[in-house]
Structure formats: C-alpha cells, structure tokens
Structure 1
Amino acid sequence: MATYAIGDLQGCHRHFLDLLDLTGFNSTRDRLWLVGDIVNRGPDSLSLLRTLMALGDTVTMVLGNHDLHLLAVAAGSAQLKHGDTLQPLLDAQDSKVLLDWLKCQRLFYHEDEYALVHAGLLPAWHTEQAAMLAQEVEAIIHSDQFQMFSQSMYGNAPDCWQDTLRGESRWRVIINAMTRMRVCSPKGRMNFSYKEGLSAIPQGLLPWFEIPWRASKDATIVFGHWSALGLHLTPNLIALDTGCVWQGCLTAIRLEDRKVFQVPCA
C-alpha cells in the first residue's frame, strides 16, 4: 500500500488522471491525500469531483479556500468572481450530491507523524489542538448553520489566535489560518496580502512554518495553497502547490519514500 499526497488540483481533471497513471496508483490498495483547492480556475471541476467521490474512502482530503468559496456561492452567501470556472458544476444535475459530499470533507487531518492542511497552522497550535479546532468549524460546515456563517466567513480580522475567541470570530481565524495563511509576524499575527515566494518576504514577516516557537514541529505538515513557494521539502514539511492551474505542474509525493512525481500542465 502506498499513500500519494497531491498538490492543489483546482479543476485540472485530465492532469490528475495523468498523474495517477504516472504514479501507478491502484485504487484497491493505495491512498490519496489531497491538500485542498480541489475546484475552480481549472477547466473541469465537475468531472474531478465526480471522480474523487467515486473513489470513496481511498481519498482523504482537506478543504481549501476555493472549495469553501464554492460552498458559499452554492449557499447564496457569495457571488462568482472573475476567473471562476464553477458554473458548470453549479448547473449540473448531480450538483447537490457533489456539494453535499464536499461539505463533509475535513479542514485538517492528522495521522501518525503526518498532518494534512491546505495552507498552514498558526504557531501557537500543536497538532492535537489544531484537530480539535478544525472539528469545531467542520461541525458548522456540515450543518444547516453554514448558510448563515458563510455570510460572515470572509474577512481578515481577527488576525491572530486567542483562546478567548468565541463564535464567528473564532471560526474565521481557524479558517483563515488553515486555508489562507502564508506568512505571519514572529508573534503569530497573520498577513494575507503577501503572495510571492520566499525571497521577497517583507521585513517583520516569516513563513508560518519558520516561526521559531511553532508548536506543530513534531509533525510533518503536508500542505498546498502557496504556488509561489512551489515544491518545498524539509524533514518536517511537504509543500505541494506547484501551480498546475498557472501552467506549472501537478505534483504528487509518495509518503513512504518521498519519491516525487510530476506532470506538466500546459
């Protein structure tokens, strides 16, 4: 049995199938870990969701910001943006079934020494705390409360974690960290404007994973979201967003031996 972690798919169904062929993936014995942003910007989110849903328990995935955007649009709490490619999915006859399946996915997943998240973890959170916080938000997303919460889901404040946070502000911080964060201050205050690579990070900010006191260092974090970072591998970090939707490539890594597989995305 092998476990293949795959970067942001963003509706690139054909490249996903090409990557599975390249890895030799076998759905009867292997597993897929997906870092989120399954849908949007690419050409065929509809077929991709159908394929993933059909794979059943073979797939372990977390939600990304584009996935949450789709759910908010479907709930009537957000509008499609320029560049979105979600309309065919929203218009499909099986749209409700697919969206209900998507709503039931996790925000964070932890197994043995690995943790799976779309964007990152705030430095104050150890993996056990992150799992509990994610479950709070997952319960909202999975419930009828999501339609109301999704109206206030967006926003950059609060921009740091406090244990005293409650309700929508608390849930927004959790979502922002796990689906939007790239850099933060040495004290753990998130910055959402910076989207470039490591070389141009402004003074006073650090990649979330380089905060010296980060509590989740005991786990190997598997994440995506940061396409300008690209493939970034360290002993306890696996970054997999290599910009498939931006004519980069789609990347998978076999967790058992860290062998990397890539297909170009023209």
Structure 2
Amino acid sequence: MATYFVGDIQGCFDDLQHLLQQADFDPQQDQLWLTGDLVARGPKSLETLRFVKGLGTSAITILGNHDLHLLAIDAGLAKLNPKDKTQPIFDADDKDELLQWLRQQPLLAHHEAYNIIMVHAGISPQWTQQQAKQYAQEVNAQLRGDDYLALLTNMYGAQPDYWSEGLQGFDRLRFIINAFTRMRFCASDGQLEFHNKHSPATNSNTQHIPWYEVAGPHLDDAHVIFGHWAALEGECSHENATTLDTGCVWGNSLTMLRWEDKAVFSVPCPIYAT
C-alpha cells in the first residue's frame, strides 16, 4: 500500500488521470490524499468530484476555498465566477449527492501512522497543531449541521485577521476558515494578510512573511502538507512543511508525492485559467 498526496486539482481531471497512471496508483491498495480545491478553473470539475467521491475510503480530501465557494453558489449565497468552469456541476442529475458529500469533508486531515497533517492553505502561526484540529472540528460541525447555510452566509470577509481565543460566533469561524483556506502571508505576530499573492522570492513587502516562516508552535510536531499557493512552485523553506500546488490550471504542472519513498510525480498541464 502506498500513500499519495496531490496538489490542487481545480477540475484538471485528465491531468490527474495521467498523473495516477504515471505512478501506477491502485485504488484497491493505495490511498490518495488531496489538498482541497477539487473544483474551479479547470474544464472537468464535475468529473473530478465524481471520481474522488467514487474512490470512497481510498481518497482523503479536505476543503479549499473554491470548494466552499461552490457550496455557497449552490445555496444561492454567492455568484458563479465567470472564470470558473463549474456550471456542469449545477446541471448534473447527481448534483445534490455530490455537494452533500463535499459538505461532509473536513478542513484538516491527520495521517496518524505517518504523523502528517494535511490542510489547504496552512495553519495559523498562533495555533498549536492540537488547537488547529480542534478549531477545524468547530467549523466542520457547523458545516455538517442543519444550520450550515448560516455559516456559508457569514464566511466571507477578511476580518477578523488576528486570532484571539475570545473570538465568538461567525467572527471566530470566519477566521478559522480563512486561516485554513486563504492564508499565504502573515505579519510577524501572525496577523493574516490576504492581498499579497506573490512568491516569497518576488515579495517586496518585508512585513509580509510566509505563514510557515512565522515563529510559532504551528509546525512543531506533525509534518504539514498544503496546497493553495501556486506561486511557491512547490518550494517551501520549512523542513517540516511540504507544498504541492504547482499551478496546474495556470499551465504549469500537477504534482503528487508518494510518502513512503518521497518519490515525486509530475505532469505538465495546458493553460486552463487566464
């Protein structure tokens, strides 16, 4: 049995299939862990959802910002981005089944045997990994509950951008969601910054620090695998973190890591997003 971790698919279904063929992935024996953002800019978001759902326990996926946005669109709480190619999902006969399944997926997954935490964007530098697990469960409990529409209604926005254990209600849940699904740079004290999408190499603002370089307890124990930040191009400066979003939708590549031997598999991708 092999354990594979793959970066953001974003509807690049054919590229995912090529990657799995390259690695000889066997769903009867192997397990595929996906860093979220199954849907959005690529041409086959519907096929991607169906495939991952169909893998059953052979797939572990978490929610990314595009996945949450998809749920909000379906609920009539957000508008479809013209750049996203997700309309076929809303036209599909199995839409309700697919989105019900998506809504049950977590914000954080922990591979206990290998002590790996998988998140979409990262872990707030103000949190321990145990706290991150707890906070992820708070959001997932609300998202999976009968009142999930209230969460989808109130999840948008950039405030609060600094964590306090005293945060309550939707302010608290919004920060948790933003840290797990939108974070790239932070200030040195862990304050979230949402506008800077550059790579660390091209970042000119010295007050903006990659979340994984901010001093804190967030990378002290389990190894963290994340996606979301395509501009990193697979490069992460922290020894206890690995990034896997290599910008497939932007015409770069789709990347997958086999954990047991650290083999890296990659396929070049056409430009899907403009």
* TM-score for both structures, normalised by structure 2: 0.95
Residue equivalent to 2:154: 152
Distance in structure 1 (CA, Å) of the matches to 2:31 and 2:166: 38
Shift in Å at residue 76 of structure 1? 1.1
Residue equivalent to 1:131: 133
Distance in structure 2 (CA, Å) of the matches to 1:106 and 1:25: 23
Residue equivalent to 2:268: 264
Distance in structure 2 (CA, Å) of the matches to 1:139 and 1:181: 22
Percent of aligned pairs sharing the same letter: 45
Shift in Å at residue 214 of structure 1? 3.5
Distance in structure 2 (CA, Å) of the matches to 1:182 and 1:139: 25
Residue equivalent to 1:208: 211
Give the match's secondary structure for 1:244. Answer: coil
Contact 2:6–2:256 (8 Å) recurs in 1: yes
Residue equivalent to 1:116: 118
Give the match's secondary structure for 2:230. Answer: coil
- 1:1-266 aligned at under 5 Å gives the runs 1-112=1-112, 113-201=115-203, 202-233=205-236, 234-266=238-270
Contact 2:127–2:216 (8 Å) recurs in 1: no
Shift in Å at residue 45 of structure 1? 0.6
Shift in Å at residue 128 of structure 1? 1.2
Distance in structure 2 (CA, Å) of the matches to 1:13 and 1:42: 8
Shift in Å at residue 258 of structure 1? 1.2
After alignment, is 97-106 or 124-133 more displaced?
124-133
Shift in Å at residue 144 of structure 1? 2.3
Distance in structure 2 (CA, Å) of the matches to 1:64 and 1:77: 17
Give the match's secondary structure for 1:198. Answer: coil
Give the match's secondary structure for 1:221. Answer: strand
Distance in structure 1 (CA, Å) of the matches to 2:218 and 2:156: 26
Shift in Å at residue 111 of structure 1? 2.3
Which stretches of structure 1, 4 residues or more, deviate above 3 A after TM superposition? none
Structure 2: unaligned runs, 5 residues or longer: none
After alignment, is 140-149 or 96-105 more displaced?
140-149
Amino acid at match of 2:184: R
Distance in structure 2 (CA, Å) of the matches to 1:216 and 1:64: 20
Amino acid at match of 1:260: V
Give the match's secondary structure for 1:252. Answer: strand
Q: How many equivalent residue pairs?
A: 266
After alignment, is 236-245 or 137-146 more displaced?
137-146
Amino acid at match of 1:197: S
Structure 1: unaligned runs, 5 residues or longer: none
Shift in Å at residue 136 of structure 1? 0.5
Give the match's secondary structure for 2:231. Answer: coil
* TM-score for both structures, normalised by structure 1: 0.98
Amino acid at match of 2:64: G
Shift in Å at residue 146 of structure 1? 1.6
Amino acid at match of 1:259: A
**Deviations, residues 73-102 of structure 1 (Å, cap 9, x unaligned):** 011111111201111101100000000110
**Deviations, residues 121-171 of structure 1 (Å, cap 9, x unaligned):** 111211111111001100111122121221111000000110000110000
